[in-house]
């Protein structure tokens, strides 16, 4: 047996936490823990852990650069992928946003505001820490267990939904189901039942009756054909058109979806259809109007929730995370986050095109899905969405660092091969 056979993959803490949250979703929110819920405790504890670990990888890399060093340390884990010569790459604008968010919270924030900042800061720091603590097989470890969590959670949701008591909240499950699709679609399993996993998740996503998530999920499903087509553009376009047609039929003919999309406030009109936004346009107008009181710097973390909660029964968010960022952190915070986030998505997409590795596609699809969902929902402040996403992105950047893939390399896509 060779030395590599004796070594096991490193398991970055946020990857382990992320897999657990993919299975639990919002269930910890139902458990009280003093003034917070168990979810709040997990959020703050994870933030503290990631920040505490931030300096450790720099020291650890010096002792894990070759087999002799590993033998002296008595460890049987794979060496760290990143090194001082090829560090993981996180946009400076995203780091700037994290520092700005912390500074704004120091000047005052609500309890919810502190939790929101903790989630956002952990997302940014978690990417770097996960990348720095990863080995070559760490991505395979997370993807394997994330795929298992996706199947288990989707089955549990569908079964319990039939009894009228779904194990997860429909909106929460729908958001996490987008990450399920992100880890399942790039995978090319051998077995017949394993190939059905993305379709199982999409079925559960549709059953949740989440309009935005269902539309995003349908778009993600087209990647199955596009990746299998290996450059056959006509086939990819045909599948996309078929999926769009199926979505239109679902919206106009399936009663629950028809009522969700075409009933209600009918606030948006397009192509002869009146679309239901469930009052979101009112929330958005109120949030934008109030944000003008301090447009550049924002009114502080959690201020958007303080604005919405007294005005609407059972609604405590503006249902648009970009407007939340604008209201809480101003144009400066919004610009820093959006610039950093989309730069990160471009980076992982370039890596995916250059290498065709599943981890890069999963990170890209996850970032894209969350960015789209944030237009009508609140995924950016949910740890069960952002922590797994940070782990996926960190593992993607670590894989690129370990293989020496540079920005010059990603500008020249390699020939596609099966992962």
Distance CA(220)–CA(181), nearest Å, equals 7
Give the pLDDT confidence of 347-382 residue by residue, as tens digits. Answer: 999 999 999 999 999 999 999 999 999 999 999 999
**Model pLDDT, residue 414:** 40
66 has a pLDDT exceeding 70: no
Question: Would you kindly state where each structural domain of the chain is located, as residue ranges?
Answer: 3-410
**Model pLDDT, residue 403:** 56
Region 192-217: mean pLDDT is 88
Please state, in angstroms and as integers, the Cα–Cα distance from residue 279 to each residue in 101, 127, 271, 376, following that order.
29, 35, 20, 11
Give the pLDDT confidence of 291-336 residue by residue, as tens digits. Answer: 999 999 999 999 999 998 888 777 778 889 999 999 999 999 999 9
Backbone angles phi, psi at 273, to 5 degrees: -105, 145
Please state, in angstroms and as integers, the Cα–Cα distance from residue 168 to each residue in 27, 151, 157, 308, following that order.
7, 14, 7, 24
Distance CA(79)–CA(8), nearest Å, equals 9
Better-scored residue on pLDDT, 104 or 405: 104
Give the pLDDT confidence of 258-278 residue by residue, as tens digits. Answer: 665 555 444 444 344 443 445
Backbone angles phi, psi at 134, to 5 degrees: -100, 150
**Model-level pTM?**
0.85
393 has a pLDDT exceeding 50: yes
Buried b / exposed e across 59-68, counting CB within 10 Å, b at 16+? eebeebeeee
Please, which pLDDT band fits residue 88 given cuts at 50, 70 and 90? low
**Model pLDDT, residue 154:** 98
Cα 44–chain centre separation: 18
Contact (Cβ atoms closer than 8 angstroms) between residue 320 and residue 329 = no
26-30, 112-116, 316-320: range with lowest mean pLDDT: 316-320
The pLDDT > 70 percentage for the chain reads 74
């Amino acid at each position: 047996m060779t030395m590599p056979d004796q070594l096991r993959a490193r398991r970055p803490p946020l990857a382990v936490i992320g897999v657990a949250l993919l299975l639990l979703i919002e269930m910890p929110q139902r458990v009280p823990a003093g003034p917070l819920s168990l979810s709040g405790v997990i959020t703050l504890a994870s933030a503290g852990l990631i920040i505490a670990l931030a300096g450790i990888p720099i020291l650890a890399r010096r002792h894990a650069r070759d087999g002799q060093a590993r033998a002296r340390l008595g460890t049987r884990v794979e060496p760290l992928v990143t090194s001082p010569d090829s560090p993981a790459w996180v946009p400076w604008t995203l780091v700037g946003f994290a520092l700005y968010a912390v500074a704004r919270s120091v000047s005052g924030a609500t309890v919810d505001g502190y939790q929101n900042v903790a989630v956002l800061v952990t997302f940014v720091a978690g990417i770097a820490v996960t990348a720095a603590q990863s080995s070559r097989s760490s991505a395979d470890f997370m993807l394997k267990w994330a795929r298992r969590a996706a199947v288990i959670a989707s089955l549990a949701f569908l079964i319990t939904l039939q009894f009228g008591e779904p194990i997860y909240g429909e909106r929460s499950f729908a958001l996490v189901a987008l990450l399920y699709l992100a880890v399942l679609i790039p995978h090319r399993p051998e077995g017949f039942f394993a190939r059905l996993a993305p379709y199982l998740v999409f079925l559960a996503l549709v059953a949740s009756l989440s309009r935005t998530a269902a539309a995003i999920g349908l778009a993600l499903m087209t990647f199955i054909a596009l990746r299998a087509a290996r450059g056959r553009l006509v086939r990819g376009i045909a599948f996309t058109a078929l999926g769009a047609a199926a979505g239109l039929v679902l919206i106009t003919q399936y009663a629950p979806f028809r009522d969700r999309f075409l009933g209600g406030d009918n606030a948006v009109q397009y192509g002869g259809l009146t679309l239901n936004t469930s009052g979101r346009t009112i929330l958005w107008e109120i949030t934008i109007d109030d944000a003008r009181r301090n447009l550049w710097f924002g009114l502080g973390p959690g201020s958007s929730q303080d604005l919405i909660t007294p005005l609407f029964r059972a609604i405590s968010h503006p249902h648009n995370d970009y407007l939340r960022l604008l209201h809480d952190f101003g144009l400066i915070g919004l610009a820093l986050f959006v610039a950093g986030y989309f730069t990160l998505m471009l980076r992982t997409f370039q890596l995916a095109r250059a290498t065709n590795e599943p981890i890069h596609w999963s990170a890209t699809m996850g970032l894209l899905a969350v960015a789209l969902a944030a237009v009508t929902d609140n995924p950016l402040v949910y740890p069960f969405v952002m922590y797994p996403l940070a782990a996926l992105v960190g593992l993607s950047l670590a894989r690129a660092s370990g293989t020496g893939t540079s920005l010059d390399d990603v500008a020249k896509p390699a020939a596609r091969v099966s992962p």
